[in-house]
Amino acid sequence: MKFLTACLVFIVITVNVNAQIKKIDLIINNVNIVDVVNNKIIPNRYIAIQKNKIIDISNTSLNKSYTSQFTIDATGKYIMPSLWDMHVHFGGDSLKAENKMLLPLYMAMGIGHVRDCAGDISLDVIEWKNEIANGTLLGPTIFTSGPKLEGINSIWPGDLEISNKTELTTALDSLQKLKVDFIKITDNTLAPDLFLKSIIAARKRGWKVTGHVPATMNVEVFSKNGLSAIEHIGYLQRAASKNEDSITKLRAVNKISGREANELYLNSFDSTVAIAKFKQLAKNGTAVVPTINGSYITTYLDKTSHTNDDYLRYLGPALKRTYNWRIERASKDNIDAIAFRHKNFEAAANLLPLLYKSGVVILAGTDAGFLNSFNYPGLGMHDELAIMVKYGLTPQQALICSIINGPAFFNQSKLYGAVAKQKNADLLILNANPLLDINNTKKIDAVINKGKYLNRKYLDNLLADTEQKVKLLK
């Protein structure tokens, strides 16, 4: 009888213990968490992941609480949220297949989210976005503007061209039907007053609005009227000038060229004025997407041609041919023009720490994709972070621009931005600490995409497969 009772007690205890052990998808053992917000490493943590969520983090083994399909020993490695590239392009109507081949490159390089800033294949991008969300296509989560707003006879294919308020309403209606994530506006042929009306109308519909800034109005005017983000740091040189008003007025009546205006802005730079204006941008809630790596590459083509870059093997031949536009344009510059573009770039890039100091939200974006020479999808984000550090930010600050400010722009901070319980499991496992050296973001051991563990071999296979597909296109 005593033996039978003892057996029954043992069975009950065993059943209760087993009932407490939860089956999950993934356990990561003994990993160092990169706490970007607090600029520190949280050592030797154990992380439980179920589907697309981090459900538990402990400083001791989780084996008593969970059993997993996969268990990863991450001793000596570092885990952080995957990167956000807040300015990319998919485009070229005849290049749809080559554009789609960029998606695995983003994955292989640890880019979990991208913000598509318009092109001429928007319907395809929206289709990829939905397929990725449904799990039927591997790639980064896509946020897209769809076609951007422009004036009549824009040089950019795929734009929604408008000339009056009625056409603006029709354009916004069409974008609403496409369920775009934000609105982008550029200034190639769009009149400044209609540009302002477009910002106001889009904001009334609940969208954030980003874009270039027309040369004939002060930057602050657009910021006050609701511009959510300025694409490209070069536009901020105007705001950094003590003579912005007078120079802009001269441009408005075509008394000076764009080159002459840029020289005047450069020669009238004033750090006190710049900080005051940047603080106003911050107060207005206007962010900046510097995209300085792409500008750096183009600026210094006279020093580095990039024609033998190893990463070119992952890009389709037709997409690479779109690079020729900027290459040929740069090659026509004489010695004076080359010297000016060097000076112009350096002045713009050196605004970066002033923007950060002034409280402006900086969004890390590359401008990678078609047309933008040697600015590589995937790899470019790592280079963007590195060049941000080169021009004055700390590794922590650069990372904030990507993994904290990226999701915040789309009101996604509850889901992303940290390795923490109840955050989404879009993560990057590194072999070295990125807070010590920003170049360590390239030392990728594994990617976790929507809770799915992609090890180094898997990522290498993605790259090899893309390379093979490129060879077949030649």
- pLDDT (tens, 9 = 90+) of the chain, 474 residues, equals 544 444 434 444 444 444 578 999 999 999 999 999 999 999 999 999 999 999 999 999 999 999 998 999 999 999 999 999 999 999 999 999 999 999 999 999 999 999 999 999 999 999 999 999 999 999 999 999 999 999 999 998 999 999 999 999 999 999 999 999 999 999 999 999 999 999 999 999 999 999 999 999 899 999 999 999 999 999 999 999 999 999 999 998 999 998 899 999 999 999 999 999 999 999 999 999 999 999 999 999 999 999 999 999 999 999 999 999 899 999 999 999 999 999 999 999 999 999 999 999 999 999 999 999 999 999 999 999 999 999 999 999 999 999 999 999 999 999 999 999 999 999 999 999 999 999 999 999 999 999 999 999 999 999 999 999 999 997
Closest by CA position to 130, among listed 202, 95, 181: 181
**Residue 328: Cβ within 10 Å count:** 10
Q: Domains of the chain: which residue ranges? A: 82-409
In the numeric block, the tokens 């600029």 are attached to: 39
CB 162 within 8 A of CB 151: yes
Give CA–CA dist 424/404, Å, rounded. 13
**Pairing of β 111-116 and β 83-88:** parallel
Domain 82-409 grouped into CATH 3.40.630.30:
no
**Distance (Å, whole) CA 11 – CA 47:** 30
Contacts of 315 (CB under 8 A, 6+ apart): 98, 102, 376, 377, 470
- Please, which residues bridge with residue 131 across strands? none
| Cα R_g (the chain), whole angstroms | 25
Six token digits for residue 81: 């949220």
Q: What is the pLDDT of residue 20?
A: 76
Residue (of 220, 225, 223, 171) closest to 197 by Cα position = 225
Q: Say how far apart CA 229 and CA 362 lie, in whole Å.
A: 9
Backbone angles phi, psi at 234, to 5 degrees: -55, -35
Q: How far is CA 255 from CA 261, 296, 340, in A?
A: 10, 30, 21
Alpha carbon 272 to its chain's center: 30
Instruction: From residue 142, give the alpha-carbon distance in Å to each of 110, 190, 323, 337, 402.
Output: 14, 27, 23, 38, 15
Question: CA 415, CA 273: separation in Å to the nearest integer?
Answer: 38
The pLDDT assigned to 14 comes to: 41
How many Å apart are CA 402 and CA 34, to the nearest integer? Answer: 14
Cα distances (Å, whole numbers) of residue 12 to 18, 64, 438: 10, 17, 53
Give CA torsion, residues 225, 228, 234, 237, to 10 deg.
50
pTM of this structure = 0.94
Strand residue runs (E) in 108-150: 111-116, 141-144, 149-150
Residues 415/423, Cβ–Cβ less than 8 Å: yes
Q: CA-CA distances (angstroms) from residue 409 to 7, 161, 287, 316? A: 59, 26, 9, 31
19 burial via Cβ count (<10 Å: 0-12, 13-18, 19+): exposed
Q: What are phi and psi of 183, to 5 degrees?
A: -115, 135
